[in-house]
Structure 1
Amino acid sequence: MPERPRTRGSLRLTALAAALAAAVVLPSPASAAADAGDAGPPLETPVAELAAALSCSPDLRDAAKTPVLLVPGTAEASEYVYSWGYRKALREEGRPVCVIEALPGQGVGDIQTTAEYAVHAIRQMNDVAGRKVSVIGHSQGGLLAAWALRFWPDLPARVDDVVSLASPYGGSGFADVTCAAGVCPAFAWQFRPSAAWVGALTREPFPDGPELTSIGSRTDELIWPAPAATAYPGEVNVMVQDVCPLRAPGHMTLLADATAYALVRDALANPGAADADRVGTSSCGKAVFDAVDVPGMTRLLGLAGGLAEAVLTAPYTTSEPPLRPYARE
């Protein structure tokens, strides 16, 4: 699968510069961006609230492998979507893992506010680990990571990969249905294909540095039409059916799907984005990936009702939240 070309700078050191480098500790690219005052818009959410939502494994500070941040989606507590699958698998691989335990207000509010949790988490992980981190996000979780990297200039230097599962970068028709009566929760307005939020996210290329892999399913009942809904222009957008044509995971069962997991692992383990040809068809005979705790996976069963309840009980508005100044053209 073709990958977006990257421009990598090179630096020629003179003998004098080499001698100085031996005696001086140079700042990381992320630190340099922050020192230059290019850290992006100030966060409006109190730091204490951002920090309270983040939970990390104790080996983050001494990370021998790239740490991974897991970001849940709308109405998804990480305990129910990641503890029995991705968190377990990544820990078994020896990777430090941090999770945003749950999105504020179940993620039904303005995504511009919710994205600040991803901004803080990436910065905190990178600062503690002293190395780049990777991000895996489901549904809204992938959007939060992409928005954070688009509008906070210090973040791309801190991130290796962003891998999303069922994230509607192009908006979803389901949101159009939800808002058809002219009133719906803030996040649903922003999920529409015609939303100003979607336009602001995708009007520029994804920032250089991190790789973005968007993974979706043609049988996702919430994120459609496929594959347009999960496409970020210029980035890899792969359906599990591109690898295994007969698979039919839905929005939530994609979290356990063996082929989706194979694509995630390929993205994390190799330079560049996931490559469907490189992944091959070995996962096609499995329903779920090997590390899944199947009894724990049953926690997914209650999430559809939880999402419906979150949408029904959320504050409804008659229009999309206005774009904040930093996101306007």
Structure 2
Amino acid sequence: MHPTVRRPLVLVLAAALALALLALAPASPARAATDEVYAPLDRPGPSLTVPREKLRDALTCHGDPTTGPTPVLLNPATSVTPEENFGATYVKAFNAQGRAWCWVTMPHNTLGDIQIAAEHLTYAVRTLHRRAGRDISVLGHSQGGMSIRWVLRFWPDTRAMIDDVIGVAPSNHGTTALAECVEGVTTCTPAVWQQRDEAAFMDALNSRSETIAGISYTVVYTRLDEVVTPNHSAAASSSSLRTGEGDITNVAIQDVCPTAASEHVLVGVTDPVAYALITDALDHRGPAEPARVDRSTCTQPVMPYFDATDPDTARLLLLQAAPKVATVPVPVLNIAGAPQVPAEPRLRCYVYADGC
């Protein structure tokens, strides 16, 4: 080998080895010390504080979960209802597949305290699992792809109930795109405060372990995400999961189809690559495997079952959801009736190792 070729190759190999060793290294002492502040992974979860009738009324289900493919619990993104998020696409797909599903309508269009939303989600997981008599899967978009992890983190009984956790553009490590929310200066909705990358909520969510053994995690994101940032590269992906003993696939739609152009909203609503990865995760043991996705998917403009000419579809996506989505990063203003608060909600006592 010519010397001018050998040296760059050595450098590349050295860099690769360094990255591999870094990935295998234990958590830093600082991270480990911070983790000790939070509840142990095996501590039983707290009792639910939301009245049972409210939890029951928030859950909508369709189909017989005891038969057919694995039933799915649908968890919506910030500011939208599950009907707006999934009704024109994934619900139609699951109905065609004979797959039972449930969804949760969160208080304040998922703009309220995520700790309250997590109680609704905990109830929904337990209820669907009991009705199905078998493991279920959870599919969430944005906040919905992240908040199920709060349930698994602090209500460990739910871990034996879930096969797949599938997050599309999930805010797993928060976002840097919410600089407008400044404590003592502006007011924002609780869920917006909690999804900042520097939020105490995010620190608690990712404490001790990001994933749980026995659960498959599929994270689908887009490098064009303008809401959950940064997501422009695999090394700096806010959505990606990296620690714990869960079986993890982190994949950008551009890893499958380099020209894929969906941003944060469309990747979770109509994107054909995301749909193919989600379907792959649901239909196979373990998380999605990008290599199994048919590359003809790259030529499809939208996912199957979505009909843009349907008047109900246009109303659903454009007239209802878009205005609320647009107000999410705007301080002081929201049109979903959520409270505006001057700071992040306090973490509940169950979050801490020593309580409050």
For the aligned pair, the TM-score class normalised by the smaller chain equals 0.7 to 0.9
Structure 2 length as normaliser, TM-score?
0.77
In structure 1, the partner of 2:226 is 221
Give, as a single letter, the amino acid of the residue that structure 2 aligns with 1:81.
Answer: N
Shift of residue 182 of structure 1? 4.5
Equivalents in 1 of 2:284, 2:130: separation in Å? 23
Equivalent residue, structure 2, for 1:124: 127
Aligned partner of residue 98 in structure 1, secondary structure: strand
Matched, 1:150 2:153: yes
CA distance in 1, matches of 2:63, 2:109: 26
In 1: Cα distance, 2:352 partner to 2:339 partner: 25
Residues 261-284 of structure 1: CA deviation (Å, up to 9, x unaligned): 011011111111112222242210
State the 1:39 CA deviation: 5.0
Cα–Cα, structure 1 residues 263 and 58, in superposed 2: closer, same or farther, change >3 Å? closer
Asked if residue 53 in structure 1 is aligned to residue 77 in structure 2, the reply is no
Preserved CA contact (<8 Å) 2:72 2:100: yes
Q: 1:318 to 1:178 in 2, by over 3 A?
A: closer
Which is worse superposed, 72-81 or 254-263?
Answer: 72-81
Residue pair 1:252, 1:300 contacting (<8 A) in 2 also? no
Match of 2:253 among 240, 245, 252: 240
1:69/1:134 contact within 8 Å kept: yes
Matched, 1:196 2:223: no
| Matching of residue 159 in structure 1 with residue 162 in structure 2 | yes
1:1-329 to structure 2, matched below 5 A, reads 40-60=45-65, 62-100=66-104, 102-179=105-182, 181-205=185-209, 206-226=211-231, 227=233, 228-234=237-243, 235-254=248-267, 255-294=269-308, 295=310, 296-298=312-314, 299-302=316-319, 303-309=321-327, 312-313=333-334, 314-329=338-353
Number of equivalences: 292
Q: For residues 221 and 255 of structure 2, what CA distance do their matches in structure 1 show?
A: 10
3-state DSSP of counterpart to 1:155? helix
CA offsets 1:198-217 (integer angstroms, 9 cap, x no match) = 11111222111221111111
Tell me: CA distance 1:304–1:46, structure 2 relative to 1, closer, same or farther (3 Å). same
SS of residue in 1 equivalent to 2:191: helix
Q: What secondary structure does 1:75 align onto? A: coil
Work out the CA distance in 2 between the residues paired with 1:307 and 1:208: 34
Task: Determine helix, strand or coil for the equivalent of 1:175.
Answer: coil
What percentage of residue pairs aligned between the two structures are identical? 37
Q: Deviations over 1:130-174 (max 9, x none)?
A: 011001011111122111111111101000101011111011112
Residues 241-296 of structure 1: per-residue CA shift (max 9 Å, x gap): 11111111022211110000011011111111112222242210001112223224
Give distance in 2, aligned partners of 1:193 and 1:240. Answer: 23
What is the alpha-carbon distance in structure 2 between the residues aligned to residue 289 and residue 316 of structure 1? 36
Aligned to 2:10: none
The whole-number CA distance in structure 2 between the counterparts of 1:221 and 1:38 is 37
1:304 offset after TM fit, Å? Answer: 2.5
CA distance in 2: counterparts of 1:247 and 1:177, whole angstroms: 29
TM-score normalised to structure 1 length: 0.83
Q: Any stretches of 5+ residues in structure 2 without a counterpart?
A: 1-41
What secondary structure does 1:136 align onto?
Answer: strand
Structure-1 separation of matches of 2:251 and 2:180: 25
Check the 8 A contact 1:40/1:153 in 2, yes or no: yes
Q: Which amino acid aligns with 1:146?
A: R
Q: 1:132 to 1:195 in 2, by over 3 A?
A: same
